[in-house]
Chain A
Amino acid sequence: MSIGQPPVDSPEIRRLTPVLAPGHTYESVTEKISSIVLTRPTTLGWFVGFAIAFTFLGIMTVAIAWLIIKGVGIWGINVPIGWGFAIVNFVWWIGIGHAGTLISAILFLLNQKWRTSINRFAEAMTLFAVACAGIFPLIHTGRPWMAYYMFPYPSTMGIWPQFRSPLIWDVFAVSTYGTVSLLFWFVGLIPDLATLRDRATSKPKQIIFGALAMGWRGSARHWHRYQSAYLLLAGLATPLVLSVHTVVSFDFSIAIVPGWHTTIFPPYFVAGAIYSGFAMVLTIAIPLRKYYDLEDFITMRHLENMAKVMLATGLIVAYGYIIEFFMALYSGNKFDVFLVQQRLHGPYAPFYYALILCNILTPQLLWFQKVRTNVAILFLMSLVINSGMWLERFVIVIISLTRDFMPSAWGRYSPTVWDWATLTGTIGLFTTLIYLFVRVLPAISIAEMRELVHSFEKHK
């Protein structure tokens, strides 16, 4: 890239921190990324981390088993608050997934080179987050073995799903999102699976990677159609990812419950989804680059750019909060005004203030470059933002349901130990899948890294 010659040690130079450390060749990127899967021994640290994650996954299994035995009564949900943790967690997880698609599809269409080394594991993160999200509405139905009722199939009862309901839209949006994310991820993996097949030394690995690579041989004719399909998938995934959290927000905004029935919900949910998703990408990227020595590939530039995206989407979310209040007060609707008062002074006000602290105030530190380039602070901040986004969904679901139109319909909600077990359990499931993923599949797209090496060589 010819951007003149900036003076030595200026902010300009720091701004130009490369997306790939200098000195890499096709062979070196291939070796570095594939060795994590093929040759590096599994460390004790990996086993310890995996064991912890797996323990939480076990807790989830127990919690769900107990739920199926006893029913949803083991949760804290009650009559006015029918949604509770299940829906809070569903919206949280599905939002986290959005950053993966944003990185892989939208940044691809915008030709952002820095997406290259983070898109693969961000897409994996999307898939795992969607898996975690999908569990919640399923078990929240109370009779998960009858979940197929939600799909339109010709039943002997002669009934069909209510297609005018946002809950059915959700079924279609989330299942389409899961499928398309999987396709996108797999298509991106094909050339890398071929690389692993060619580099694997043991027979079982050759057979497994060989079968998954489907005989990919890097033919120009294949690349020609491959690129066309990849571009189309990116173009299709872009409106899809925007539609998914829009549809999730319809679950709320189509209802007339105070605090839910607003037109700001779709854009503000999408921004919040990307916000929490980028926080989760950072939560994963920072340890990943450290423990697998990937600092050359996931450079400071990536972390800084992600921090900037978080700052921007965080501000959109802040705007959403302001508009929520403004519209409530400006409309003069007494139920909406009352809800604002409840958020500020009601029984759940501490959650609201914690949300403002996590989502609005803390991220303002990201205006400073010193903060954006400090790995430890970024990691902590990513955890804070993830908690903040979880609180946001808690505030939306719980405060509105405990305080709707008639005082006789008011209620209180507090989660039980089973609610917490399921939430932490899905975090265990997510982490377990991430641990397995980095050991069995290339966490960074090797083929795209070679392209990056090539583009740097061309511009030398």
Chain B
Amino acid sequence: MNDGRSHIYGVVGEFETPEQLLHAAEKTRLAGYRQIDAYAPFPVEGLSEALGLRGSLVPLITLIGGLMGGLTGFGFQYWVNVFAYPMNIGGRPLNSWPAFIPVTFELTILGASTFAVIGMLALNKLPQPYHPVFNVERFSRASNDRFFLCIEAGDPKFNLAEGARLLQSLGAQHVTEVRDETKDDVWVQAHD
């Protein structure tokens, strides 16, 4: 447990190489921790698997966006040309579907792309201006040249000292507790 100090978000260890991070993530999971997250300045191959992340929902959302875009595009053109504003051009069919393909295609791509981006951001809960890991001073290097592994306090197995020891044994150079400033008042109580 978090020792009754609810301001603790977790414990984070800093690694020098992506290989160390991968190794640490695997071992931490094997040690039984489930609420862990890794931070890296670029996507590290194999990290998702090491953390046990399942497939993402982004492709499904993209498919839905594409289908909606395409169906809207075709349906709208059909409605305009057949019902709203029919034009008889030499007796040709009103539903001249081959001529509707370019716009249908473009709207399919537009729908799929916007859904892919918005879906990705929404699932990642971005924009998110505040996150406790930013309180760790050295964490600014997570966007440069360092790799971090965080064991979160929400994990049923979480214990600050034990987590720190584990991260250290896995080769972390700096191990720091992560404070959640939004829960500061609780922290004051716990220490008074």
Contacts and interface: CB of A to CB of B under 8 A. Distances in A.
Contacts of A166: 102
Contact of A164 (B96, B109, B139): B96
Contact of B114 (A179, A211, A243): A179
A210 B56 contact: no
B113 A215 contact: no
B172 interface: no
A163 B81 contact: yes
Nearest to B92: A164
B102 A243 contact: yes
A172 B102 contact: yes
A199 B141 CA distance: 9
B24 to A, nearest CB: 12
A159 B105 CA distance: 23
A162 B99 CA distance: 10
Interface in B102-154: 102-103, 105-107, 109-110, 112-114, 116-117, 119-121, 123-124, 126-131, 133-134, 139-145
Contacts of B134: 217
Contacts of B76: 152
B102 A250 contact: yes
A225 B123 contact: yes
Contacts of A176: 106-107, 109-110
B119 A173 contact: no
Contacts of B110: 176, 179-180
Contacts of A220: 25, 37-40, 44, 47-48, 51, 53
B58 interface: yes
A448 B58 contact: no
A160 B78 CA distance: 12
Interface in A26-85: 26-27, 30
B85 A160 contact: yes
Contacts of A168: 103
Contacts of A371: none
Contact of A169 (B38, B103, B113, B145): B103
A187 interface: yes
B13 interface: no
A160 B121 CA distance: 35
B85 A158 contact: yes
A201 to B, nearest CB: 11
A152 B80 contact: yes
B18 interface: yes
B47 A454 contact: no
B121 A214 contact: yes
A335 interface: no
B53 A221 contact: yes
A35 B121 CA distance: 28
Interface in A112-150: none
Given A176-B106, A226-B124, A451-B42, A160 B80 contact: yes
Interface in B18-68: 18, 25, 37-44, 47-48, 51, 53, 56-59, 62, 66
A97 B22 CA distance: 39
Interface stretch (A190-198, A376-384, A402-410, A430-438): A190-198
A152 B81 CA distance: 12
Nearest to A28: B145
B84 interface: yes
A447 interface: yes
A70 to B, nearest CB: 34
A241 to B, nearest CB: 10
A141 B14 CA distance: 60
B187 interface: no
Contacts of B25: 220
A223 B109 contact: no
Given A164-B96, A243-B106, A232 B59 contact: yes
A228 B58 CA distance: 7
A389 B48 CA distance: 46
A172 B112 contact: no
A97 to B, nearest CB: 15
A25 to B, nearest CB: 7
A219 interface: yes
A217 B144 CA distance: 11
A163 B58 contact: no
A239 interface: yes
B106 A218 contact: no
Given A26-B144, A195-B143, A236-B113, A214 B127 contact: yes
A224 interface: yes
Given A176-B107, A228-B58, A218 B40 contact: yes
A216 B125 CA distance: 10
A243 B105 contact: yes
Contacts of A199: 140, 143-144
B85 A159 contact: yes
A210 B129 CA distance: 8
A226 B96 CA distance: 40
Given A30-B144, A226-B120, 9 more contacts: A159-B85, A166-B102, A198-B144, A215-B129, A216-B143, A218-B41, A240-B106, A240-B109, A450-B145
Interface of A: 25-27, 30, 152, 158-164, 166, 168-169, 172-173, 176, 179-180, 183-184, 186-187, 191, 194-195, 197-199, 210-211, 214-229, 232-233, 236-237, 239-240, 243, 247, 250, 447-448, 450-451, 454
Q: Which 7 A-B pairs have the closest CB atoms?
A: A26-B145, A214-B127, A229-B120, A215-B128, A198-B140, A164-B99, A220-B38
14 contacts: A27-B145, A158-B85, A164-B100, A169-B103, A176-B109, A187-B117, A191-B42, A195-B41, A218-B40, A219-B37, A224-B48, A225-B57, A243-B105, A454-B44
